[in-house]
Amino acid sequence: MLDYLLPRYKVLRDRDECVQCGVCERSCANGVHKVDEDLGRVTADHAKCVNCQRCVVMCPTTAIAITRWPQVDAGSGNWTLEAMQDIAKQAQTGAVLLASMGNPKDYPIYWDHLLLNASQVTNPSIDPLREPMETRVFLGSRPGMLKVNEREHVVMTPMPPQIRLDVPLMFSAMSFGSVSLNAQKSLAMAAKELGTYFNTGEGGLHRDLEAYADHAIVQVASGRFGVDPHYLNAGAAIEIKIGQGAKPGIGGHLPGEKINEEVSRTRMIPQGTDAISPAPHHDIYSIEDLRQLIFSLKEATLYRKPVAVKIAAVHNVAAIASGMARAGADIIVVDGFRGGTGAAPKRIRDNVGIPIELALAAVDQRLRDEGIRSTVSLVAAGSVRSSADVVRAIALGADAAYIASAALIALGCHQCQDCSSGRCNWGIATQNPDLTKRLNPEVAAERVVNLVRGWNHEIKEMMGGMGINAIDSLRGNRLMLRGIGLNDKELEILGVKYAGE
Amino acid sequence: MKRIYAIEAWCIDCKRCEVACKTFHSRSRDTVKAFTVEYPQPQNRVRVEGTRQLSVAVNCRHCAQPKCVEGCISGAMTKNPRTGVVTSDPRKCVGCRTCVSLCPFGAVRIEDVAEKGIAYKCDLCGEVPGEAGEPSCVAACPNRALIYVESEGC
Amino acid sequence: MPIRESLREGAVRIPSGCAIAGIMDRSGARHDGSDILKSIALMHDRGNGLGGGFAAYGIYPEYRDLYAFHIMYESREARAETEAYLDTFFMSEKQERIPTEPVAAIKNPPDIWRYFVAPHPMRLNMSGLDEAEYTMQHVFHINGKVNGAFVASSGKNMGAFKGVGYPEDIGEFYRIRDYDAWAWTAHGRFPTNTPGWWGGAHPFTLLNWSVVHNGEISSYDANRRYVEQFGYGCELQTDTEVITYLFDLLARRHGFSQEMAAHIMTASSWDDIDRMDPDRAAFETALRVAYSSALVNGPFSVILGSDEGLLALNDRLKLRALMVGEKGPMTYLASEQAAIEVICPDVENVRPVEGGVPFVVQLDEVAERKRRESAENRPAREKPYQHEVGVMPPKRKEA
């Protein structure tokens, strides 16, 4: 049957620059480039290109650029080329459309509508190069009130377990299986170096990563892959994943071809079988069930590990988060709809959930209205793109932010959104050994460390500008934000004033 | 001395090292010219052997007791007593291939350039005065499969 | 000509620069207001005539067991409404207009009254609150709900005298030389805006607390949103207000010593904690973790007055000036050293208050009592209510 699909991209090759060295051909797992000796030039199979930009970066003479396929649409603002292509694809396959990474649609990005403050005259800004500037954060639940002996400097209130972050961000869950072991190891190494945490995702903890277990948050999700007492006790904290911003209400499906020997051992499932995470946890059909799971995990770890619960930002997120706090969650993680994924049904990714900015503001305010904000930790996830976004998230009320897409981009990801194909040319979202070896964790970890160090410097600069020398004083400090281009309702939910007010 | 080592676990068969080496050893130091217009064609001294599944960049180790220097019949192959770098002088090389057969690493090649085939091998890019830093192949490797480290040698 | 209504405190957030001063006699001997007046007057240029005030402790010994409410009224209706409210919830021993002196520089003063009251016993019992909490909530009610009335102070045996004007004029206006107190604090304000409202002048007080403050805290909204969880409505949007509530939360409700409350607000840096021995580090870490949002950031110097004495506190980086000096039982605090020397030329031991290290001076009797008390903090809600236990006769000791 003739495939009605059009190519999405066109490979532009500068013939003046191309030396036919073949680096592009050897770099492309999709088989786009070919050094054609008969023609004496390099050809391209445009339809196969996913715009991962590996060839563009690798080409020694920068002879390559990728452009959109120049086909015009039909001139309709309604029947866009993309809408028609989706239909053509489904007409061909009869299947659910699959997509990867975060929601790419043109919804408002509220981060870009929040401006930061700085001190002038009445209050000196602080130079982080001269004065101490504290970005250390502890996550976990905490008593609302301490009892101490002031003379002997002893705390009498039992302190629940905490994890310490030297930078106010962590790497969010990406399982071994959805990403390569090298990708996970890169983040583990970076987390250790930075004094923060990576998250195993629902894929178990590979034995090679046990050395980094102190810096691991071990996830328990609906498929329970890789979960046993050893796993739970190995990590620094446990995270129950209820939902993911990219696909709220949807489980996961790792196809059998990705379940190789190592993935199989780590996930504790037979090789070659599909790993299916159900949409709900089948032992959590209500909030009281969540409480049971939280306390089962606490029992299993002798109350030594904080337990986080992660949910996707959905309409009723504030009430749900408050229920989670009351159910015993030590850390509440809210994942916005622009958060990434290795694979999700496209319609879910593009249409379900709400932005993290609004969800975070609503959750923080609800917890405060109920007087329990100071007793739990709150982590924001779902497309934190820069240090300024981290500052905004904390000022809106988060204790820390989770980053994943940004960390992957540091590893090389170019957001081609083709993770589910398993042909990631950057060695990240693949189990193909030819490709995974492209990601040398030593190099990759360095890049991630550089990124986070750079962000942390910037966070300190921005805090210093505000006259704040500890991140504690930024948390929930919404006066440090002003809205721009927002309507009254948006300002109300975000709890910020308009610029100029 | 600092030597180049190849780590096959991270070699991804892209051959950027070869391109960089060839460019470095061209007269113009320009990749496009090196590949298209220069004559005699500049030669890359590092070679990636293998396949996509398993590959490694073969490069000279600049041995402490280099067999190639021992065996050279024309005095073209020498080890610089100060830097330790082993190089072949194209003006003296007669193309007898003794060095090729003696090298335990397969790091010397005879290339038919101009009128006769002569030996080409890695010169660590360091014999050029004023060129500091990493050899060009190491700098070009995207995955740190080539490293340039201080070592006693083999 | 229509009168342009000026912005009130609370309608907008107004940063201010300021002069602050404090005088205390540890022995409890009382002194009139002339010294504090002289001290704050010397720092005239640190204010701009848009706010001045004083807090005095020990001025109403004859009513020491009653709450002394200083209330400013902008209208007759406000007074009628407030007095009706007070009559419902409190029993008034005495009420009178606070004597004032006409001063040329003081324009449009409100009608200022004082009331010596005790909580209505039955309503207090029904409220399920302790006396302090009960009183505090009704003060909040008057300030928030009664239009044109503002409770300037509500402690026992203490009072605040404040208004719009230079502090020396405000002092004359209130005739503060006529009062004798064992502790005085004073404030001269330099707001960057024109509040023009007497209620917004400082000291800010709540129950026995009074706070004078110089600075602009950059953690304001983090602190505000923290204390608002516990029922403190930050109506005035001022730093002083939120600092007072933090002290009330930590020292009264959570039962910490004032010094520990101040330490929590200017917590040890992580660098310092990392150098401590593990036990001490665990203690400091627990404080920082549990009271993370009580950390006060940005430049400030504060003098906290209470029935125990005075506490002076500077931000962790020491971004605002505050000097302390001593002479015999007297302790002097001021933004400028000259303001101390002008009233006590032979003052000894003059030094700056260190950044993040609370300076505490307590009444000798209080210090003595504290030495004997347990060093464990006793939260307010764990203490039996005085009004509930006090009605029973003490148990007869067995022979």
How far apart are the C-alpha atoms of C66 and C93, rounded to whole Å?
8
> What is the rounded radius of gyration, in angstroms, for the C-alpha atoms of chain A?
24
Residue-level pLDDT at C14:
61
**Cis upstream peptide for C203 (omega within 30°):** yes
Specify the pTM: 0.93
Contact check, Cβ <8 Å, C375/A150? yes
Average pLDDT over residues C92-109: 92
CB pair distance less than 8 Å for A26 and B15: yes
Residues of A in contact with B5 (CB under 8 A): none
Minimal CA–CA distance to A263: which of A208, A350, A193, A181? A181
What's residue B131's pLDDT?
55
- Give how far A439 is from chain B: nearest CA, Å: 7
Region label for A44, one of left (φ > 0), alpha (ψ between -120 and 50) or beta (otherwise): beta
A222-264 pLDDT, tens digit per residue, is 999 999 999 999 999 999 999 999 999 998 888 888 899 999 9
Q: Which two tokens stand for residue A223?
A: 């498929």
Nearest to A477 by CA among B17, C13, C288: C13
Is the backbone peptide bond immediately before B40 cis, with ω within 30 degrees of 0? yes
Cα distance between residue A10 and residue A50, in whole Å: 10
Average pLDDT over residues C139-158: 93
Report the pLDDT value the prediction gives residue B115, as an integer from 0 to 100. Answer: 72
Closest Cβ–Cβ partner in C192, C219, C376 for A473: C219
Distances (CA, A) of A343 to A96, A248, A258, A381: 12, 13, 13, 18
pLDDT digits (tens, 9 = 90+) for A86-126: 999 999 999 999 999 999 999 999 999 999 999 998 888 99
Distance CA C156, CA C66 (A): 6
Residues 422 to 481 of A: which have CB under 8 A from any C CB?
466-470, 472-480
Residue in chain A closest to C230 (alpha carbons) equals: A371
> A374 and C226: CB-CB below 8 Å?
yes
Q: Mind telling me how many Å the CA of A497 is from chain C's nearest CA? A: 12
How far separated are the first and last CA of chain B, in Å rounded? Answer: 12
Q: For residue B144, give the nearest of A23, A58, A442 by CB distance.
A: A442
What is the amino acid identity at position C124? L
Q: Which of C362, C313, C139 is nearest to C235 (CA)?
A: C139
Comparison of pLDDT for B40 and C397, the residue scoring more: B40
Instruction: From the candidates C16, C17, C18, C336, give the one annotated as an active-site residue.
Output: C18
Amino acid, single-letter form, for residue C351? R
The shortest C-alpha distance from A415 to chain B (Å) reads: 19
CA nearest neighbour of A116 among A478, A495, A494: A478
Residues B57/B48, Cβ–Cβ less than 8 Å:
yes
Domains of chain A: 9-95 (3.30.70.20), 169-251+259-411 (3.20.20.70)
CA distance B10 to chain A (A): 6
Of A123, A474, A480, Cβ closest to residue C299? A123
Distance in Å, alpha carbon of A274 to nearest chain B alpha carbon: 26
Helix (H) or strand (E) holding C288: helix C278-290
Closest residue of chain A to C232, computed from CA coordinates: A371
pLDDT digits (tens, 9 = 90+) for A459-486: 999 999 999 999 999 999 999 999 999 9
Cβ–Cβ < 8 Å for A93, A343: no
The model's pLDDT over A60-81, given as tens digits with 9 standing for 90+, comes to 999 999 999 999 999 999 999 9
Q: For A389-412, what is the mean pLDDT?
A: 97
* DSSP element (H, E) containing A408: helix A405-411
Give residue C397's pLDDT band: very low, low, confident or very high (50, 70, 90).
Answer: low
C193 touches chain A (CB under 8 A): no
CB-defined contacts A:C, below 8 A: 147
pLDDT digits (tens, 9 = 90+) for C13-68: 666 668 999 999 999 999 999 999 999 999 988 888 788 999 999 999 999 999 99
pLDDT above 50 (res A149): yes
Q: Which amino acid is at C277?
A: D
Select the more confidently predicted residue: C9 or B76: B76
Report how far apart, in Å, the C-alpha atoms of A144 and of each of A158, A321, C112, C231, C241 are: 12, 18, 39, 14, 21
Q: Between A370 and C392, whose confidence is greater?
A: A370
Chain A neighbors of C220, CB-CB under 8 A = 477, 479
Question: Strand C330-334 vs strand C16-25: parallel, antiparallel, or unpaired?
Answer: antiparallel
β strands within A336-456, DSSP E: 344-345, 377-381, 400-403
For C:321-350, CB contacts with A below 8 A are none
Is C18 considered catalytic here? Answer: yes
**pLDDT tens-place string over residues C228-243:** 999 888 877 888 889 9
pLDDT at C2 > cutoff 50: no
Which C positions 124-163 lie with beta carbon below 8 A of chain A? none
Beta-carbon separation of B14 and A442 below 8 A: no
Average pLDDT, rounded, for chain C: 90
Pairwise CA distance, residues C262 & C272, whole Å = 17
pLDDT digits (tens, 9 = 90+) for C216-275: 889 999 999 999 999 888 877 888 889 999 999 999 999 999 999 999 999 999 999 999
Question: What are the pLDDT digits (tens) for A31-64?
Answer: 999 999 999 999 999 999 999 999 999 999 999 9
Chains in contact with B, where contact means 3 or more Cβ–Cβ distances below 8 Å, are A
DSSP A2: -
| B110 Cβ contact list (under 8 Å, min separation 6) | B95, B97, B100, B117, B118, B119, B120
**CA neighbor of C152 nearest in space, from C95, C211, C207, C199:** C199
Residue percentage of chain A with pLDDT more than 90: 95
Query: Partners of B109 in the beta sheet?
Result: B120
A176 CA to centre of own chain? 15
**Nearest CB to B35 within list A19, A434, A442:** A19
How much is the mean pLDDT over chain A? 95
A467·C216 Cβ contact <8 A: yes
- Each residue's pLDDT tens digit, C330-389: 999 999 999 999 999 999 999 999 999 999 999 999 999 999 988 999 888 777 776 666
In A, minimum Cα distance to B21 occurs at A60
Token code pair at residue A112: 């870009």
Q: What region does A115 belong to: left with phi over 0, alpha with psi -120 to 50, or beta?
A: beta
A487 touches C: beta carbon within 8 Å: no
Residues A49 and B36: beta-carbon distance below 8 Å = no
CB pair distance less than 8 Å for C256 and A138: no
Distance CA A371, CA C189 (A): 34
Task: Find the distance separating the first CA and the last CA of chain C, reported in whole Å.
Answer: 81
Of C222, C286, C379, nearest to A473 by CB-CB distance is: C222
Q: Which residues of B touch A19 (CB under 8 A)?
A: 19, 31-32, 34-36
Ranges of residues in chain B with a pLDDT under 50 are: 129-130
pLDDT tens, position by position, A324-377 = 999 999 999 999 999 999 999 999 999 999 999 999 999 999 999 999 999 999
CA A273 to chain centre: 26
The domains of chain B, with CATH numbers, are 2-150 (3.30.70.20)
CB-CB under 8 Å, A123 with C298? yes
pLDDT confidence of C193, banded at 50, 70, 90? Answer: low
C95 touches chain A (CB under 8 A): no
Interface test with A, best of C218, C248, C263, C284 (most A CBs within 10 A): C218
Quote the CA–CA distance of A291 and A302 in Å, as a whole number.
16
pLDDT category, C391, cuts 50, 70, 90? low
8 Å CB contact of A477 and C13: no
Q: Per-residue pLDDT for C195 more than 80?
A: no
Task: Give contacts of A438 with chain B, Cβ < 8 Å.
Answer: 12, 142-143
